[in-house]
Structure 1
Amino acid sequence: SVSDVALGAFLSGGVASSIISLCLSKQSDSKIDTFSIGFDKKSFDETEKSRLVANLIGSNHHEFVISEKDLTAHLDEILLNFDEPFADSSALPSYIVASKTADYVKVALTGDGGDEVFGGYNKYLIGGINQKYTSLVPKFLHQSVLKVANALTKQKGDERGLKFKVRKALNSIDYDDSFFYNIIKLGFSDKEMSIYLNEKNRVKNPLAYYQQKIPNPKNLTGFRNVDKMISLEGDMIVKVDRTSMLASMECRAPFLTREIWNYTLSLPDEYLLKGNNKKMILKKAFENEFPEQFLEKSKKGFGVPVGDWLRQGMRSELLSYIDDKFLEEQDIFDIQNIKKIVLNHLNSVEDNSFKIWTFYCFQKWYKNTYLATK
């Protein structure tokens, strides 16, 4: 990267950001600045890992500890800044760390793209589950299996543990090879969209444009290309770019250069992912630079508790979005069905966090941006 101003690096403690910070430190003539974000809930706080790397490379390390109040205080400013419906809740902590970093540097390098480029996601490990499942379970039995599994994994809390993952995987099973397209959806499935949208707004296959390009992704290369088209280009790059610009700074992602992407695409899949060993070639290249086993430790990540927020501080706003008059004038949703799923979540009958958050973000955009420009 070429920059006319001082560079820093976001350091989460994960493999990708640790390697980027290390490389920047080696290329710099002076101490670099690294930045990490911690949370006042210890179960989500991973600043210890970033601190270890910062000590290793000798950076000027800055830790920012934030609370849920810090996140919600900027909610409207962040969501409405996108000028389009945008429901990736990690945009909130992304903005907070960018706004605090901007006090020190105006350009920061990130590890973004490391998982897509080098095969680092857990979802790549289960990418072959669809073929195994559909070869063992006849299609006519699938709905019965699904019904039992959904009953056993039903949850009321805002969790993303084993039950959530099992439920997500089984509900993504597709006998027409659309499994990976299903697994990356965190909002409504195609079937659910036909339930919650009114008849004139139903779209048979919202992802048809992408599926024409990559019809049946069945290997790591296919999965990564789908992620590049949808998750990277439509979500992650957009999120980081717009939240950092809102904070008056710039983020750059060295792993997302054309040369690196094309190089890893030329490699056999097993160079990137073999057994449970993810990002294999990247870890191998830097294994002597970090303490033993450091690169094998998975980053927990931070799940923004949107499900709880919607039941609590955002409850009245959410209820206004399912007001009969508002929905009738809007003429987009099936009123009875959308009200039912929202109220079930608010009353803790079931956990619909991702779906209701998606609905909430769309309605906030519709009311504050779309209607305001009419």
Structure 2
Amino acid sequence: MATSGRKGTQISKILFSPRTFKQRCSIIVPPNKMVECFIWICILLISAICSSSHGGDDYNIDGMVVNEWEFVRDSFKENFVEQRDLGASIAIYHQGKLVVDLWGGWFDRSFTKPYDNNTLQLVFSATKGLLQNIGLNMDKMAKENTTVADILSQRAGLPFISDPSEQIFNWTAMIHSLEHQRPLWPPGTAHSYHALTYGWLAGELIRRVDPKKRTVWQFIQDEIANPFQIEFYIGLPLEQAYRVSPLTLSLDDLRAMNDSMKAFYILYNDPRLHRAEIPAANGITSAKSLARIYASLITNLDDGKQKRLLDETVLNQATKLNTPKDELDFITNTHSAFGMGFTLFDQTFPMFKSKIFGHIGAGGSIGFAVPSKNLSFAYVVNQLDMTRRNPTRQRIQKILEKVSTKITADY
């Protein structure tokens, strides 16, 4: 108890002592929501401390696995035993068939409601992979010298927004801001990760080129979600809100994150953000749907009854490395590997010894495909892992090693 008390005191100092916390929060949390902001942090802190004593071996693991894939269930459970996950789901498609569809843990830190097959999850930038297959065959966007390839390959020169971020819920305001913002570099000559602006750029491209002038949400529902029986929301309908598991942070992350980052992740539990269209970062889905999206890009589904979303020529174009190997990120000065809308994970997951494309979301959610193995994989989580090194690898590395061994033996 004494140890917990000291931890609580340290957290309190981090959260409430600096005067700058309120100032930083006010950038993205409206003043009239500040009380709710502080209450949310207090509840999260208390539940995080209490959860350290939550024990037992009932992790609510449920779902389906094909017989020879049973090892995934055991590895999935380990992530709960080792407290890497609070609630999560995992899905794998192989050769166009769903072979793993598991979920487990808890919906939130009250530990009263299981994380189940009806649960939806906000997956941050794992959303981005869905957008790329919409824009690949489109021509140029109406911004000077900026091509579709520049937008999809993180080379448009607009990696962030110069205007205040309280306009984040207003699509028209964000597009107006981007249209009047000077690129940081001549489009196509450099790259940097467009964390949020990618979604508005690609989404506005869709709206302007689409003859029906549909929103991103409507386009995705009409052209991808409904035909492929996928549940993926960018702009969550109000009647689905009860299904969304709230994002949470581990106690270690609460201690390590700065005040601005805490406020940022509070924002991502705001129902207004869930209802907005922020195509780069607020997709809400499940592992099953995310894995099915990637499966649809590389193969026919449902015993050939559902034809693939992209043909081989377009897929090869989309997954070709568009980042010169000697070119560093313009902002972070680090190495990146981008295709057209996808991150290329060949070096991240070397066990497959093959091309891998997909996208990771902040905190650990991920979806990707391995075309040569006819494999797609998705893992989504509600407990964000923001400070540990390589959080996604920690969650899925053992699983992927075993998956690689299995499918290598099959081929």
TM-score over 0.5 for the alignment? no
* Greater per-residue helix proportion: 1
TM-score (norm 2): 0.27
Determine which structure has the larger strand proportion and give its number: 2
